[in-house]
Amino acid sequence: MIPILTNKKFISQIGQLIKLEPDLISFLKEGELIEVKFLSKGRRAFYFDLGKFGTGVVYGVEFLNAREIAKNLKQGDLISAKVVGIENEDGYIELSLAGAQQQKDWQEIKKFKDSGEVITVKIIGANSGGLVAKINELKAFLPVSQLAGEHYPRVEEGERSKILEELRKLVGEDIVVKVLDFNIRNNKLIISERGVVEENIKELLSQYKIDDIVEGIVSGIANFGIFIKFVDNNIIEGLIHISELDHRLIENPKEVVKINEKVKAKIIEIKGGRVSLSLKALKPDPWEKVEKKYKQGQEIKGTVNKFNPFGAFIDLDAEIQGLIHISEFGSFEEMGKQLEIGKKYQFVIEAVKPEEKRIVLKLKKSKA
């Protein structure tokens, strides 16, 4: 008579068996990476030996995706595959070779991100937002903001067409980058060239401190400011924002400097691998003595410099500008009728506000 095992005894014996021979009882899971042995190629499928799990098949869309990967496989060759279906209607385990390759690629990306490892990528495309590269079979995006100074497109007015023209010059080039961010679910991979350069620059910048005065060469001019390469450390490139070029309002940085001009500037911020500089900080501030020269109620001649939605800026001298508010005219159109850019007019000073760096003007009314 065969003894009937109770549930407890049965579970206990199964547990012992698993401990002694763990390979006897194992299961495949969807999404799992496994090593498989190539058996043969059919007209529309590849077949693989999965050992105790039976036979695996790559077919349909996965067959098309795997043609390049499997074209040189010979019988008996081992390759990684991803389980995409446990058992189909023909009894095969469904596999993906492309999926396995992609999963391995993402695992490598994670390793690069975690370690901060520096890698070299080839640029394969460009758009106005940045560059496209490849890491193994994954497409990576290198935003314009993550380019190092050497490759940053210095385009006046920020015209997209000109930015794209500059970026296209980098297609085919090798660039050293780090993985900045990735999202496997969204198939998003962001890389940074600036991050690599900043690591080196951080160390170099430790030699400098805020308020240091440095000598530099103007290496680039953009609509938002100028780039300065340090003379004593030309790997370091700092930015002087347009607001730090002069005490007066600057419309275009070219009004102040030109490419390759040597200038002295003051360090006003060091943050990470970036350094911000100022030309303005080394110039006397004309607003400190403005009340000695300009008084409330004073009549003065000024040249119309430019219009904006809230009024017109008037050059009173080489350093000081006044503002006549749009409300003085009632509308932008009316202001354009009464004032002409580049022309001189007689004004009356309504208020002098040195703390706000502002002189409020009124147009002197002609006597009837």
225/253 same-domain check: yes
Matching residue, tokens 């999965």 = 50
107, part of any domain = no
Length of the chain (residues):
368
Rounded Cα distance, 324 and 302, in Å: 11
Rounded Cα distance, 249 and 236, in Å: 28
Q: Exposed, middle or buried, 206 (CB in 10 Å: 0-12/13-18/19+)?
A: exposed
143, part of any domain = yes
Q: Kindly report the CATH number assigned to the domain that includes residue 187.
A: 2.40.50.140
Q: What's the pLDDT tens digit per position in 29-62? A: 888 888 999 999 988 999 999 998 899 999 999 9
Of 263, 282, 301, which closes a domain? 282
Q: What percent of the chain has pLDDT over 90?
A: 56
Give the range of the structural domain holding residue 301, as residue numbers without chain letter. 288-363
CB 347 within 8 A of CB 363: yes
pLDDT at 142 over 80: yes
305, part of any domain = yes
15, part of any domain = no
Measured CA distances, 153 to 130, 184, 194, 215, 259 (Å): 10, 30, 13, 23, 15
274/292 same-domain check: no
Average pLDDT over residues 267-296: 92
> How far from the centroid of its chain's Cα atoms is residue 191's Cα?
8
Rounded Cα distance, 24 and 293, in Å: 96
Question: What's the pLDDT score for residue 200?
Answer: 79
Q: What's the pLDDT tens digit per position in 117-139? A: 999 999 999 998 999 999 988 99
pLDDT at 9 over 60: no
25, part of any domain = no
pLDDT at 5 over 90: no
Rounded Cα distance, 147 and 119, in Å: 15
Of 282, 304, 330, which closes a domain? 282
Say which residues have a Cβ less than 8 Å from residue 211's Cβ, sequence separation at least 6. Answer: 266, 267
pLDDT at 213 over 90: yes
Q: Give the chain's mean pLDDT.
A: 87
Average pLDDT over residues 161-170: 89
Q: What's the pLDDT tens digit per position in 284-315? A: 999 999 999 999 999 999 999 999 889 999 99
User: What does the radius of gyration of the chain's CA atoms come to, in whole angstroms?
Assistant: 35
306/340 same-domain check: yes
- Residue 280's Cβ-side half-sphere holds a number of Cα atoms within 13 Å equal to 20
pLDDT at 13 over 80: no
Rounded Cα distance, 159 and 164, in Å: 9
**Domain count of the fold of the chain:** 4
Average pLDDT over residues 171-189: 92
4, part of any domain = no
Where is average pLDDT lowest: 1-10, 238-247, 262-271?
Answer: 1-10
350/296 same-domain check: yes
Rounded Cα distance, 234 and 215, in Å: 10
Average pLDDT over residues 148-156: 78
Report the predicted TM-score, pTM, of the whole model to 2 decimal places: 0.54
Average pLDDT over residues 357-364: 93
359, part of any domain = yes
Of 261, 282, 303, which closes a domain? 282
Q: What's the pLDDT tens digit per position in 61-112? A: 999 988 888 888 899 999 989 998 887 878 899 998 988 888 888 989 999 9
Question: What's the pLDDT score for residue 141?
Answer: 96
Question: What's the pLDDT score for residue 2?
Answer: 42
| The 3-state secondary structure of the chain, one letter per residue | CCCCCCHHHHHHHHHHHHHHCHHHCCCCCCCCEEEEEEEEECCCEEEEECHHHCEEEEECHHHHHHHHHHCCCCCCCEEEEEEEECCCCCCCEEEEHHHHHHHHHHHHHHHHHHHCCCEEEEEEEEECCEEEEEECCEEEEEEHHHCCCCCCCCCHHHCHHHHHHHHHCCCCCEEEEEEEEEECCCCEEEEECHHHHHHHHHHHHCCCCCCCEEEEEEEEEECCEEEEEECCCCCCEEEEEHHHCCCCCCCCHHHCCCCCCEEEEEEEEEECCEEEEECHHHCCCHHHHHHHHCCCCCEEEEEEEEEECCEEEEECCCCCEEEEEHHHCCCHHHHHHHCCCCCEEEEEEEEEEHHHCEEEEEECCCCC
6, part of any domain = no
